[in-house]
Amino acid sequence: MTEFEQIYRAYFRDVELYLRAICHDELLAEELTEQVFFQALKALPKFRGDCDIRTWLCSMARNCYFSHLRKEKPAQSIEELEIPDPKQGVEEQILDTQQAMAVHRVLHELPEPYKEVFSLRVFGQLSFGDIGSLFGRTANWACVTYHRARQKIRDEMEESE
């Protein structure tokens, strides 16, 4: 069994579940997962091993999803969305599809590294340690950055009410 086959078997389900969590569309998640592993096959020789392979694959998955979103026209502006309680946790808002799109739109506009740290924590369910190592920083830096991103999202959601 080749190295790529081992990676595919070990992480396919994780990547697909991650994509399902962020896009809320089973068919799209399957399609994007295929794209991720196709890209991973081409990029594997360049993988330096600076981070966990799952982190690398989820980062590729996130980028595939964001590329997909950029190609589609937004169906509804963020100002048109009704969000009953913007003070509730950002994680709870993601559970509702319409609210999830509002959060994704706000998240899409966040500057880096807030956007990526938030996505890796919420959608990738990575630990602060893993996120910190991905950026070459500490777990504390990742935790602070995540909480700042949450606050920025909350503030934007309140403004769009």
Domain count, the chain: 2
Query: Is 93 in contact with 83 (CB distance < 8 Å)?
Result: yes
Average pLDDT of the chain to the nearest whole number: 77
pTM surpassing 0.75? no
Cβ–Cβ contacts within 10 Å for residue 93, how many? Answer: 20
Range of the domain at 17: 1-72
Q: Does 83 share its domain with 159?
A: yes
Instruction: Specify whether 106 is located in the same domain as 160.
Output: yes
96-123 residue pLDDT tens: 566 667 777 777 788 888 888 888 887 7
Q: Which of 72, 90, 107 is the last residue of a domain?
A: 72
Residues 83 and 66 in one domain: no
pLDDT of residue 77: 46
* Contact status, residue 114 vs residue 135, Cβ threshold 8 Å: no
Task: Please tell me whether residues 58 and 131 are part of one structural domain.
Answer: no
* Pair 33, 19: CB distance under 8 Å: yes
